[in-house]
């Protein structure tokens, strides 16, 4: 986009230069003989060289910064809307301009009089804007019609992976089982954070970062799964989580994470989240009161006479009266279960020693 804007801006500067030469020639400031070649023309008319150099200097000092600012603003404006909506607006504009062209032809309007020229310009502007406005007020209905035809991927099928879920590693198995469908997107700023972690001087962080990068390579090799590294960044934002939520809001996609704080912030900003920990808790077996379990007490609990045990999936069991059984395997009875976003906790009491 930035390159396109710069090329267009260069064309505008070049056009202004050409018009300036025409005006200078019209007032007699320079002479442009048509019979001479371009080199001879530039040699004879040194004013042209000075004029072109002046415009080149203006473009280098003012034009390039202005073109960069224009490109950034246009890119920022376009990034607020999904590509699906942008295409619909373009189609609406094309339809409006097409109708304007047919109206002009039907009334045999010619660019002979100033009034006709003004009317033609207003006609194109009015019907072009009307086409965009019509698409804007009907875009949800158009999206629904397109989804029935199955021609465009729905935004809700877009999944954005954050750094924590990539390092965690379980996302690969979940995708391979088919529980997550649609397009998988890894933003470039998430990839940069992974690389930064992989280059850390801390050995633990370095290993986690490298494991995340290895997982991405495995993920891209999975068949029937579309994985895209999206080259995008938001320089005005510092935190990766803030960038990820902004991108998800613009793409109308879902963030896949196991970060508890990111989950809470996403809910505030009305961004849909798929929490891996919530999924893991949901598939854990349900334990009812008075159900018997055989567990090994591994350590003492925080409260007096409590003992702690763990299931194979990591669920913690708080056993009342289990302190004296630390290091032994006993049978317990489930009393209550507590479900939180951080995980599931089971409370039990000693039944009998095994």
Taking CA atoms, 31 is separated from 16, 18, 27, 50, 55, in Å, by 18, 14, 10, 14, 19
- pLDDT 10s digits, 31-55: 555 444 444 455 455 555 566 666 6
Domains (range + CATH), the chain: 1-79 (no CATH), 81-152 (no CATH), 155-281 (3.40.50.1010), 285-353 (2.40.50.140)
Residue 167: burial class (beta carbons within 10 Å; 0-12, 13-18, 19+)? buried
Higher pLDDT, 269 or 59: 269
Tokens of 219: 């993920």
Per-range mean pLDDT, top range of 51-65, 80-94, 227-241, 322-336: 322-336
**Is residue 162 over pLDDT 50?**
yes
What's the pLDDT at 99? Answer: 86
**pLDDT tens for residues 206-258?**
888 898 888 888 888 877 778 888 888 887 788 888 888 888 887 878 888 88
Helix (H, G, I), strand (E, B) or coil at 189: helix
pLDDT reported for residue 235: 79
Cα-to-chain-centroid distance, residue 104:
42
pTM of the model: 0.48
Question: HSE of 332 in the Cβ direction (CA atoms, 13 Å)?
Answer: 31
Q: State residue 119's pLDDT score.
A: 76
Half-sphere exposure of 103 (CA within 13 A, CB side): 17
């Amino acid at each position: 986009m930035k390159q396109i804007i710069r090329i267009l801006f260069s064309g505008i500067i070049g056009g202004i230069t050409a018009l300036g030469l025409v005006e200078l020639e019209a007032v007699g400031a320079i002479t442009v003989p048509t019979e001479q070649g371009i080199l001879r023309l530039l040699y004879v008319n040194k004013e042209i060289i000075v004029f072109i150099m002046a415009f080149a200097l203006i473009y280098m000092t003012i034009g390039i910064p202005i073109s960069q600012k224009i490109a950034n603003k246009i890119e920022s404006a376009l990034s607020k809307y999904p590509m699906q909506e942008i295409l619909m607006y373009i189609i609406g504009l094309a339809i409006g301009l097409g109708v304007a062209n047919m109206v002009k032809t039907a009334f045999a309007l010619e660019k002979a009089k100033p009034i006709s020229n003004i009317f033609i310009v207003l006609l194109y502007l009015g019907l072009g804007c009307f086409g965009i406005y019509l698409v804007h007020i009907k875009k949800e209905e158009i999206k629904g019609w397109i989804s029935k035809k199955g021609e465009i991927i729905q935004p809700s099928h877009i999944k954005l992976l954050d750094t924590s879920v990539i390092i965690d590693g379980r996302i690969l198995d979940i995708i391979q089982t088919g529980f997550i469908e649609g397009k998988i997107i890894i933003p470039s700023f998430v990839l940069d954070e992974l690389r930064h972690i992989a280059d850390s001087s801390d050995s633990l962080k370095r290993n986690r970062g490298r494991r995340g990068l290895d997982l991405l390579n495995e993920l891209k090799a999975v068949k029937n799964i579309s994985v895209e590294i999206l080259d995008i960044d938001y320089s005005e934002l510092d935190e990766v989580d803030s960038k990820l939520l902004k991108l998800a809001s613009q793409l109308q996609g879902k963030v896949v994470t196991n970060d508890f704080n990111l989950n809470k912030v996403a809910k505030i900003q009305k961004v849909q989240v798929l929490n891996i920990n919530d999924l893991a808790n949901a598939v854990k077996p349900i334990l009812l009161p008075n159900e018997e379990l055989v567990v090994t007490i591994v350590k003492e609990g925080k409260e007096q006479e409590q003992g702690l045990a763990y299931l194979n999936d990591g669920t913690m069991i708080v056993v009342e009266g289990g302190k004296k059984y630390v290091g032994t395997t006993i049978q317990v009875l489930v009393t209550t279960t507590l479900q939180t976003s951080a995980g599931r906790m089971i409370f039990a009491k000693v039944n009998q020693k095994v």
